Amino acid sequence: MNAGLFVSFEGIDGSGKSTQARMLHAHLHAQGHDAILTREPGGSPGAEEIRALVLNGTPDRWSPETELLLFTAARRDHLERTVRPALAAGRIVICDRFADSTRMYQGLRGVDLRRCVDALHDLMIGQEPDLTILIDMEAKAGLARAVARVEASGSGEDRFEGFGGDLQAQMRHGFLSLACEFPSRIRVIDGGHDADTVAADVQAAVMEHMHER
């Protein structure tokens, strides 16, 4: 099941993690590696349907507890249909968000929810990435980027941006705390530089991890 390499990207909205995931995927392909690029929520037909439910609508559309169940259902389908088959085939899986995002976006929004997030993850998912790249970005700048991106795309996937800057600041602090909690898995990359500079730092971190395996 774990013959391949599982790399996730995390960060607050607007941190540039999606761009960096795409750039890493292109770089690995250019180097001759068999890599796939996927995302959460989404990455499989069923999970993409759930994505439409959780990313659209008003901020109070779902409670954090309901979100947790929806995201876990999407992740389970994604894991079964996309991630694990690719890893079993020896491929590199690059995933834009995984369980750390649920630990932040739902786990920070209610008393004892982080405990519920971890318990449900252990029960239904039971897998962590081999390496997580955390693109760190100042919260205000990240939110401005994210809002501009959604407006330009017209996707309507702006529900979490609607929670505002305070939540983004909490998320940034939470992600950095996770990096301290899981230092062997999570590598923090400064996202405040231009995209090519950040990409070079990401590539160096991934290559170092691959050489250490």
User: Residue 157: pLDDT above 80?
Assistant: no
CA distance 189 to 193: 10
Which residue in this structure is represented by tokens 């939540």?
167
- Residue 100: burial class (beta carbons within 10 Å; 0-12, 13-18, 19+): buried
CB atoms within 10 A of CB 155: 11
**What digits encode the pLDDT tens for the residues 143-153?**
777 667 766 76
User: Residue 44: pLDDT above 90?
Assistant: yes
Hey, where are the domains in the chain? 5-212
Q: In sequence order, which residues have a C-beta less than 8 Å from that of residue 63 and are 6 or more positions away?
A: none
pLDDT value for 115: 87
pTM of the model: 0.88
pLDDT value for 1: 42
Mean of per-residue pLDDT scores for the chain:
89
Structure tokens at 106: 């739902």
User: Residue 200: pLDDT above 90?
Assistant: yes
CA distance 168 to 174: 10
Q: Please state, for a pLDDT cut of 90, what percent of the chain lies above it.
A: 66
The CATH number of domain 5-212, selected from 3.40.50.300, 1.10.10.10, 1.20.810.10, 3.40.50.720: 3.40.50.300
